[in-house]
Chain A
Amino acid sequence: MDQGLLKGQVAVITGSARNIGREIAIQLAHEGAAIVVNARSDRAAAQSVAREIRAMGGQSTVCIADVTDPEAAGNLMSTAENTFGRLDILVCNAAIRRQQPFVDIPIEEWQEVMNVDLNGPFYCLKAAIPMMIEQKYGRVITIGGSTLHLLTPNRAHVTAAKMGLLGLTRAIAIEHGEFNITANCVAPGHIDTVRGTSAGNRSTGGIDRPIERLGSMSEVASMVTHLCKPDGAYITGQCLHVNGGMYMGGA
């Protein structure tokens, strides 16, 4: 029944060569969207996602781009337009995490996190929103995190960047509703991903999860997919938590 609700649409998912981004790419492709798979450098991994999508009858292309480079971010959005003719969905998923007591955070590390987690989405949106305004249609989804809600220690930069990303999401929502553009944040809890070593240990924050297991990547992706569907048109400016009840939102 759900088949093809996104048929004819085009989606860019930053950081979609693996983990949650990859799962989002595949779910949106299942709904019929053409997918631009993006990675900063791992072309082989990105190509394998694109192949997987084509193998299931979908359309996909790869664009290697570092979102911290404004020109590359712009190029990533034009790849959608040049290859598939438009850009309907932008999922700002690419992010890095670091773990460091506040006093030990080097300036470079702060800037690195800000660049990937906050400036990157800004550069992507700067290029994407004018295209969406032109089409009078767009869906923006940013991927938040539980860190800023749970007061996780040793992540001042990640907390600040993700909080900023939520603010950016809301600002996009407020300014572009009239163009039929929605912007929402999906905030995952502890998800069973393959973590880069730089991410450090999974923090528990000393908080019990009502649902004790880790969440799956597809459980996060399915909320993203829901927001992209036509029925998601009246949801905007929200932060939607998929976290096993670990944090229940500020209501």
Chain B
Amino acid sequence: MSEKKLAGKVALVTGSARNIGRAIAHQLADEGAAIVVNAVSDQEAADTVVSEIKAKGGNAITCIANVTDVNAVDAMVARAKEELGGMDILVLNASSRGQVPFLEMTHEQWRNVLDITLDGAFFCAQACLPSMQEAGWGRIVTLGGISWHVGTSTRVHNLVSKSGLAGFTRGLAVEFAADGITVNCVSPGFIDTVRPASAGARPNRKISAPIDRMGTSDEIASMVRHLCMPESAYITGQIMHVNGGLYLGGS
């Protein structure tokens, strides 16, 4: 029935070689967007995602870049514009999690998380927004997290960076609304991903969600996709929780 609604759009999904980022890359590609698959270092995993997208008839390129490096980000966005013809959708998914009791947290650990989640968002958004302004259309989706909403122990750096990212989302939403650019945050609950050792054990909270299972990466990705669609032009500055009812939002 429907044409591919994102045909002709170019999307950069940071940290899209695996898990939620990968699912987002796939779903945006399914809607016709050309995808920049980004990873900090795992070229092979990123290339695999690119091949999968191409095998479905989509268009994608791999860009290995560390989002904490402004030069690498600028080069990635320049390459995307040159090879794919624009920059319309930015999904700020790359992040790092760690679990450290606050008094044992080194400044380096603190900085590392803030660098990736917040500085990375800053660099990527600054690099991408001018193209969106020029086109009079753009979508930025940030990936939040449930930790700072419910309060989770030994993740102060993560809570701070994700709550900061929510403020970042709202700030950009207000500032760029007149340019036809929406900015929203999708906040996942417990999702069935492959976790790196650095993420630590999944917090075993006593809260039980109304939907008593882990969510899937695709369930997160489909909300991101929905926000990127033309019909979502009136949604901006929001935090969309996809968490099985684990946290019901501040309404």
Contacts and interface: CB of A to CB of B under 8 A. Distances in A.
Contacts of A149: 251
Contacts of B238: 240-241, 245, 248-249
Contact of B174 (A173, A174, A210, A250): A210
B43 to A, nearest CB: 30
Contacts of A210: 173-174, 177-178, 236-237
Nearest to A188: B234
B166 interface: yes
Interface stretch (B107-115, B121-129, B216-224): B216-224
Contacts of B232: 219, 222-223
Contacts of B182: 211
A241 B251 CA distance: 9
A124 interface: no
Contacts of A173: 210, 245, 248
Interface residues of A, number: 48
Contacts of B250: 249-251
A234 B234 contact: no
Interface string B230-241: 011111111111
B1 A248 contact: no
Interface in B197-234: 209-212, 215-216, 218-219, 222-223, 226, 229, 231-234
B234 A249 contact: no
Given A170-B248, A235-B242, A229 B210 contact: no
A21 interface: no
Interface in A184-214: 185, 189, 209-212
A234 B244 contact: yes
B79 interface: no
Contacts of B223: 226, 231, 235
Contacts of A232: 219, 222
A216 interface: yes
Interface string B1-24: 110100000000000000000000
A210 B239 CA distance: 16
Given A222-B232, A229-B222, A233-B219, A30 B1 contact: yes
B136 interface: no
B236 A236 contact: no
Nearest to A250: B250
Contacts of B249: 237-239, 249-251
A218 interface: yes
B170 interface: yes
B240 A211 contact: no
Interface residues of B, number: 45
A229 B211 CA distance: 16
A85 B239 CA distance: 37
A234 B236 contact: no
B189 interface: yes
A236 B239 contact: no
A70 interface: no
B74 interface: no
B149 A251 contact: yes
Contacts of A237: 210, 245, 248-249
B142 interface: no
Q: Which of A176, A185, A222, A234 has the most CB of B within 10 A?
A: A234
Nearest to A3: B1
A234 B216 contact: yes
A177 B234 contact: no
Contacts of A104: none
A236 B251 contact: no
B234 A189 contact: yes
Contacts of B4: 1
A239 to B, nearest CB: 4
A222 B229 contact: yes
Interface in A159-183: 166, 170, 173-178, 182
Contacts of B243: 234-235
Contacts of A244: 177, 234, 236
A74 interface: no
Given A245-B238, A250-B251, 10 more contacts: A1-B4, A1-B30, A210-B173, A210-B237, A216-B234, A231-B223, A235-B219, A235-B223, A236-B245, A245-B174
13 contacts: A2-B1, A3-B1, A174-B210, A178-B212, A210-B177, A210-B178, A211-B233, A219-B233, A235-B243, A238-B241, A241-B238, A242-B235, A251-B166
Interface of A: 1-3, 30, 149, 166, 170, 173-178, 182, 185, 189, 209-212, 215-216, 218-220, 222-223, 226, 229, 231-245, 248-251
